[in-house]
Amino acid sequence: MVFSSMLFVFLFLPANLLSQLLLKSPKAKNIAMLAFSLVFYSWAGPRYLLLLLGMVLICWAGALLIQMWEGTPARKICLIVTLGLCLLILGIFKYTGFFLSNFQHLFGVPKVIPQIVLPIGISFYTFQLMSYVIDVYRGEVKAQSRYWLLLLYASLFHQCIAGPIVRYKDVNRDLIRRRTKPEEVSAGISRFTVGLAKKAVLANGCAVIADQLLLTDAAALAAVPAMGVLLGAAAFTLQIYLDFSAYSDMAIGMGLMCGLHYRENFDYPYLSGSITEFWRRWHISLSSFFRDYVYISLGGSRCGTGRQLLNLFVVWFLTGMWHGASWNFILWGLYFGVLLAVERFVLGKDGQRFLPQVLRHGGVLILVMFSWIIFKYTDMSLLGTAVKGLFGLNHNGFSSASVSLLFKNNLFFLALSAVAVTPLGKWLREKLRQLSERGEIFYMINGVWEVVHPVALLLLSAMALVGDSYNPFLYFQF
């Protein structure tokens, strides 16, 4: 089940919200939310639910032992064992095939590589549970004595499949007290419908354009003109932001409807003036996880230049690996590691300021767009073909009539999608709110807007989803 499905929007979510409305005590609300979350996670098949239950059990017991053994050497051993088991389970399911296939390529063994299906959402809930255990070890939170509450934290259907990565200390109080406010429910409905429209209308529309140009057949891809590859890369750049930020919008919105407050996961990253700024704005929950639990633990920026470089590349190697068991993701991570190292150790702040602002923003956008080509192709030969095609090295020409026609037919849609990655809509909404405080006419307009726009976006999304029975979010695969 996905958020952008008719079943979820018109049956599962209303049933969940109704249960939260009718039940009064926080405990009853939490039990109902847990039941809905486990049904949601089990929808594609219940077999991996046991894996989730087992990983939560490991972290629940590990955290309790860490807290109980305060001040003893056994405490650190327990931390290492707990985290090691989590990483081992993640590694078995996510990376066994990758490592064995590379070993087979080098040494000819094993003859048969086991096909292990990747449990949906395993990367996200593993990182959430690991952050909980580490925070207990650091004394930032108390260990949760009730297993089912920790299971609820890890399995919340709002975000357990594709994030954002929610830290236990950010939602612990909400889970225990669970208070919903009418204004937050209203804001949550608005945020959810905005996310749904971004996914169903804009992201899926950009995907159609990108898939027509960034082909998965080598011969056909080689024939795509350079402008076609560029247009496909631009469409995919819009798609991946609109798709992933839409999921985060919907998760945050559903949380608000139920009295849960999740942190923002995106802050208009395509407006960044540097790669460093881009990663402060893109997938904030993941980048902050690696910063707080890996980079700083390795010494961060408190050591010499050589060690800082090593720490940086370790983090970005792991970031690439987290996204998938494929060489292109490792290359993608190291690509950003190199760019960040150049910014920090070569250009520095003064070097970056020397460039005009428009060049800084344009340069970042070009570098990020190129990164998404690397991200797109898990087949390295196809990746090479796409990169060569971008520079016309496949004897593919500059443009063609079909590419020009595709661009002209979708010019308005692409412009609308480009506007959607900026804060223009948010700015206009804030202006309307400010005006509503100054005059009765604007107050009425604002009131009508608050009622009409979620309904309009819901209807628009429903029309886009009719007949589109399966449109998963890109980050489901991670």
3-state secondary structure the chain: CCCCCHHHHHHHHHHHHHHHHHCCCHHHHHHHHHHHHHHHHHCCCHHHHHHHHHHHHHHHHHHHHHHHCCCCCHHHHHHHHHHHHHHHHHHHHHHHHHHHHHHHHHHCCCCCCCCCCCCCCHHHHHHHHHHHHHHHHHCCCCCCCCHHHHHHHHHCCCCCCCCCCCCHHHHHHHHHHCCCCHHHHHHHHHHHHHHHHHHHHHHHHHHHHHHHHCCCCHHHHHCCCHHHHHHHHHHHHHHHHHHHHHHHHHHHHHHHHCCCCCCCCCCCHHHCCCHHHHHHHCCHHHHHHHHHHHHCCCCCCCCCHHHHHHHHHHHHHHHHHHHCCCHHHHHHHHHHHHHHHHHHHHHHHHHHHHCCHHHHHHHHHHHHHHHHHHHHCCCHHHHHHHHHHHCCCCCCCCCCHHHHHHHHHCHHHHHHHHHHCCCHHHHHHHHHHHHHCCCHHHHHHHHHHHHHHHHHHHHHHHHHHCCCCCCCCHHHHC
CB atoms within 10 A of CB 400: 16
Known catalytic residues? 323
Crossing angle for the helix pair 168-177 and 147-155, nearest 10 degrees? Answer: 120
Residue 112 is predicted with a pLDDT of: 85
Peptide bond connecting 269 to the previous residue in cis, omega within 30 degrees of 0: no
Rounded CA separation 387/409 (Å): 25
Rounded CA separation 424/402 (Å): 32
Residue 178 is predicted with a pLDDT of: 81
Q: Give every residue of the chain whose pLDDT is below 70, as ranges.
A: 349-353, 467-478
User: What's the distance, CA 102 to chain centroid?
Assistant: 28
CB atoms within 10 A of CB 467: 6
Peptide bond connecting 164 to the previous residue in cis, omega within 30 degrees of 0: yes
Residue 440 is predicted with a pLDDT of: 83
Tell me the CA distances in angstroms from 259 to 23, 128, 318, one per residue in order: 13, 20, 34
CB atoms within 10 A of CB 257: 22
